[in-house]
Amino acid sequence: MIKISQLRKSYNGRCVLNIEDFVFEPGGKYALIGANGSGKSTLLKILAGTLAADSGSIDCPSGLRERLGYMPQKPYIYDFSVLKNILIAFTHSQSDSAAALRALRRVGMEDFAAARGSRLSGGESQRVAFARMLVEPHPLLLLDEPTSAMDLNASDQVEQELLDYCSEQTTTLIFATHSLAQAQRVADTLLLMDHGLLAEYGSAAELIHHPQTQEARDFLRNWKVD
């Protein structure tokens, strides 16, 4: 269980995150949705430990922080081979080329194993970065718009692998997305962020079809979701 309380973050006096309380249950799959600048990435960065909150607390089981996996919005692929980019992610277990190649196969990138990381397109980089997440068992996975640069086929493949991984590892998943359809397919709880606040949360059916707050209704006005 990860419990966040009174979490606040400001940049130059502008509040970008202000969450009173929320509990992420173990094994749950949570999608952060909301407009640009609503605080989704900031929340993920604070949870990942790459950004410090101004105040508030995050209570989580000991050792979770050391073993979480985090994929930023613009994942960096190092300028060595794609295979080596995967091998460096074995931080808790012995590097294993066969396992690295299997991870690449899971995202359709096995043919790129020898290619240089710096030569990949945005979508390919995201797939490699995602494969890097798959080689270690992470109790918590934080993904910031993991498929934003991918084509539909690659995005579907990654979504499927993500669901498989989470059920295999009983991983808690928190991801940001601009695709409500993706949020519906992958997550069991949606959190709507608005101007740094957690405006509303609930299952996809509740939040999308029966929004309770004005912020949620405003956000969903332009979306057509089945």
Partner 1 sequence: MEVLQETINLLFGSNPELRQIIGVTLQMSVTSTLISVGIGIPLGTLIGMYQFRGKGVLMRIINTLMGLPPVVAGLLVFFLLSRSGPLGEYKLLYSVTAMVIAQVLLITPIATGLTASMISQRYPLLRETALGIGLPRRKQLLYTLYECRSSLFSVLFTGFGRAISEVGAAQIVGGNVQYKTRTMTTAIVLETNKGNFDMAIALGIVLLVIAFVIMCLGQYLKDKSERP
> Nearer Cβ to partner 1, position 32 or 48?
48
> Nearer Cβ to partner 1, position 129 or 186?
129
Q: Does residue 151 interact with partner 1 by CB under 8 A?
A: no
> Nearer Cβ to partner 1, position 177 or 184?
177
Q: Which of 10, 81, 95, 148 binds partner 1 (CB under 8 A)?
A: 81
Q: How far apart are CA 193 and CA 39, in angstroms?
A: 7
Do residues 47 and 197 touch, judged by C-beta distance below 8 A?
no
Cβ 90 to partner 1, closest distance in Å? 9
Q: Does residue 108 interact with partner 1 by CB under 8 A?
A: no
Alpha helices for the chain (secondary structure H): 40-48, 64-67, 82-87, 97-106, 122-134, 152-169, 180-186, 204-209, 214-220
Contact range with partner 1 by CB under 8 A, out of 85-93, 157-165, 185-193, 202-210 = 85-93
Q: Which amino acid is at 189?
A: T
Q: How far apart are CA 116 and CA 138, in angstroms?
A: 26
Q: Which of 25, 57, 78, 217 binds partner 1 (CB under 8 A)?
A: 78
**Which DSSP helix (H) or strand (E) runs through 79?**
none
Q: Build a one-symbol-per-residue string for 38-77: x at contacts with partner 1 by CB under 8 A, - elsewhere.
A: -------x--xxx---------------xx-xxxx-xxx-
Q: Which amino acid is at 24?
A: F
How many residues interact with partner 1 (rule CB under 8 A)? Answer: 27
Q: How far apart are CA 219 and CA 154, in angstroms?
A: 27
CA distances from 72 to 46, 105, 137, 213 (A): 12, 22, 18, 29
Contact set with partner 1 (CB under 8 A): 45, 48-50, 66-67, 69-72, 74-76, 78-81, 88-89, 91-92, 116, 129, 132-133, 136, 142
